[in-house]
Amino acid sequence: MNRRRRSVLVLPAGNRHMAEKAAGLPADEVVLDLEDAVAPREDAKADARASLLDTLREVDFGDRTVAVRINQVGSPYALRDVLSLVPEVGERIHCLILPKVSEPGAVVFVERLLQALETEQPGRARLGLEVQVEDPAGLETVSAIAGASSRTEALIFGPGDFAAAMGMPQLRIGQSAAGYPGDVWHYALFRIAVAARAWGLQAIDGPCSDIGDLEGLRTSSDRAAALGFDGKWVIHPSQLEAVNRAFTPSLEEVERAESIVAQLGASGGASRMGGEMVDEAHGRMARAVLARAGREPRG
């Protein structure tokens, strides 16, 4: 299922106030985070789960996609996350997000667990999965990870943990590399985008942690959009406008796409449009732009 995910706002799972505020913000998806946003202690995780249960029961997120990032499979917390949440508030969640996935077995484990829980509650909507690629092993096996479950809806790049795993000299998540002759994230992003498209999934870029650097955020968003990514994680409401704009086709792009589709419909094949020859390859490109814009092609 391709839900709209231009902007994905990530919040600490235990912060009810932030969740209530998010329900009125222009984010396509809200992620309630039980992993990095919560201290790695069982008491802290348990408190966050309890708070999250109340939030999901009581806060109306409207038509936004609602996801919960559980802890890493294999940690002391992931199984308890799923068993605490899904039977109680599974109908209030669209997707679970799996962090730090390094091999397809982690996805298969959650797939089997969800199958068992859904058998106990027949008629409940099937939960989707979103999978984060955050280390070299995950990038090496990204295609197998992408195909490990039919529940998976999106691949997400995690630049912070990826930089740490690679030994990259970075202290801000998602930052560019000064002095590097190009985009330091290009290879990882493009490889994830190819795997996502090969398996019919969305590709989502990770966040930029420097909230004050809106220009850097715009650059990062534009680069990801140019590679075919569908959206980007944000960690502060001030980042939403720039990210939504980057992953929404401009009026000029939409009008040109509509003109191409209309021209091909009228001509029945390759023809000249202005100073350019257009054919069905242009048509496929145009329809992809219109789909991203939420427009139905005419002609």
Q: 263: domain range?
A: 251-293
Give the pLDDT confidence score for residue 5 in this predicted structure: 97
Grade residue 293 by pLDDT with cuts at 50, 70 and 90. Answer: confident
Same domain? 93 vs 211: yes
What is the tens place of the pLDDT at every residue in 258-278?
888 888 888 878 888 888 888
Same domain assignment for residues 61 and 48: yes
The one-character DSSP state at 71 is P
**Run of H or E including 115:** helix 104-120
Q: Are residues 200 and 265 in the same domain?
A: no
Distance CA 289, CA 286 (A): 5
Asked, for residue 150, whether it belongs to a domain, the answer is yes
156 shares its domain with 134: yes
Please indicate, yes or no, whether residues 99 and 236 belong to a single structural domain of this protein.
yes
Q: Partners of 204 in the beta sheet? A: 156, 231
Cα gap 265→3, rounded to integer Å: 29
Residue 83's pLDDT is what? 97
- Rg of the chain over Cα atoms, rounded to whole angstroms, equals 20
Q: Residue 1 falls within a domain, yes or no? A: no
Tell me the mean pLDDT in the region 134-147: 98
Q: Is 272 helix (H, G, I), strand (E, B) or coil?
A: strand
The stretches of 124-250 forming alpha helices (DSSP H) are: 136-140, 142-146, 159-166, 186-198, 214-226, 240-246
**184 and 266: one domain?**
no
User: CATH no. for residue 104?
Assistant: 3.20.20.60
Same domain, 118 and 189: yes
**DSSP code per residue over 208-243:** ---TT-HHHHHHHHHHHHHTT--EEEESSGGGHHHH
| Residue 2 pLDDT exceeds 90 | no
Q: Could you tell me which of 27, 40, 34 has the C-alpha nearest to residue 55?
A: 34
User: Are 220 and 243 a contacting pair, CB within 8 Å?
Assistant: no
**Within 13 Å of residue 229, how many CA atoms lie on the same side as its CB?**
30
Please tell me whether residues 93 and 231 are part of one structural domain: yes
264-268, long-range: CB < 8 A, 24+ apart: 264/299, 265/298, 265/299, 266/299
pLDDT at 298: 62
The pLDDT value recorded for residue 272 is 82
Q: For residue range 86-135, what is the model confidence (pLDDT) as tens digits? A: 999 999 999 999 999 999 999 999 999 999 999 998 888 899 999 999 99
What's this model's pTM, rounded to 2 decimal places? 0.93
Residues 159 and 283 in one domain: no
Q: Do 255 and 237 reside in the same domain of the chain?
A: no
What is the total count of domains within the chain? 2
Q: Domain for residue 154, yes or no?
A: yes
Query: Nearest-5° angle of CA 80, CA 66, CA 78?
Result: 15
Q: Within a domain: residue 2?
A: no
